[in-house]
Amino acid sequence: MTITISRTAAPGHGVVRYAAIGALQLEAGGYLPDVTLAYETWGTLNADGSNAVLIEHALTGSTHVTRGDSDEEGWWEQLAGPGAPVDTERFFVVSINILGGCYGSTGPSSEAPDGKPWGSRFPLVTLRDTTAAEARLADALGIGSWFAVLGGSMGGARALEWAVTYPERVQRCAVISVGAASTAEQIAFAQAQTLAIRQDINFNDGDYYGGPLPEDGLALARRIAHITYRSAAEFHGRFGRAAQLAESPLQAEALGTRGRYQVESYLDHQGTKLVRRFDANSYIAITDALMSHDITRGRGSLEEALGRATARFFVAAVDSDRLYFPSQSRELADALPGDVDVHVIQAPIGHDGFLTEIGQLSGPLRLHLSD
């Protein structure tokens, strides 16, 4: 199989490009006959391909990590860019849309061989599958070994999978705000989200393309998720029991006619925002992929599984995270070879602190990425 892509920087930094990587046999038994991965790059790959850094996005993130030749703000500006810890003037930075996504990579809304969207026929994809697909893209880009792979939340799970699946190809690995496996509680939260979508009247078993979209279900899934992304202290301090302006949650002549509390309006807003930019089937596909996260599957104990990795590890957690508890990061660090510290982001916001407060780790991350 031949994939021809220039080894130098993209014609435009921070611009989406596409690579057809061929057919992919999937871990769970499914098969995709023609896989495309969307990706963005920043900087220039050096002659020996030794300065490449892979940044993996979280659940509904895109490939647009940071600005490039446009003024469009990226989702991790504090982490990557000129002069940032992941310095795009030093590194060749790559971000890839996960397999099953809806930002250009093959997913449920993509065209199947019969010319129709995959829809309900899209197969189950695991994080190991997307890692295998990304390895092909790395080959095509001329990257035999990543100087570093890093990510937060699901992106951290993807980074960890890279380090264990391809130990010879990852020199440094930063795993932020995620553990070694999705726990029963995390799977429970995830199932509630996917079920919210599947029970939408417009879901049509996943074959809704060309008709009404399951927007209510997707918005509800986002509400459930966002509650886990923020802390109780964040909700209390920001909203308390205040009513939404011009609405009264304690006046109603019938059920369903009362006004909203501010926190309800906030969650409604978060649901509406996601509906405008994301595909419901992709939300299910990627959530199922995150459910599959278990670095030990088929690899023995946690220590045995992590013992395969040869990368230098950086582990971090958010102190107020109630989705991926700091204790999971400590368990991961304790099982890694050598003495690995857990760097702590202090932020009352909760899980999303890995995005909003990543600047707290600028110093340690610069040290981790030093020669």
Dihedral angle computed from the Cα positions of residues 246, 226, 148 and 37, in that order, rounded to the nearest 10 degrees:
-90
Residue 269 known to be catalytic: no
Q: Of 153, 231, 282, 320, which one is the catalytic site residue?
A: 153
Candidate list 13, 64, 343, 351, residue with the active-site label: 351
Whole-angstrom distance, CA of residue 33 vs CA of residue 23: 4
Catalytic site residue from 129, 200, 321, 352: 321
* 153 in active site: yes
For 118, the token pair is 């995959």
Look at residues 294, 296, 292, 293 and name the one whose alpha carbon lies nearest to residue 305.
296
* Whether residue 351 lies in the annotated active site: yes
Active site positions, annotated: 153, 321, 351
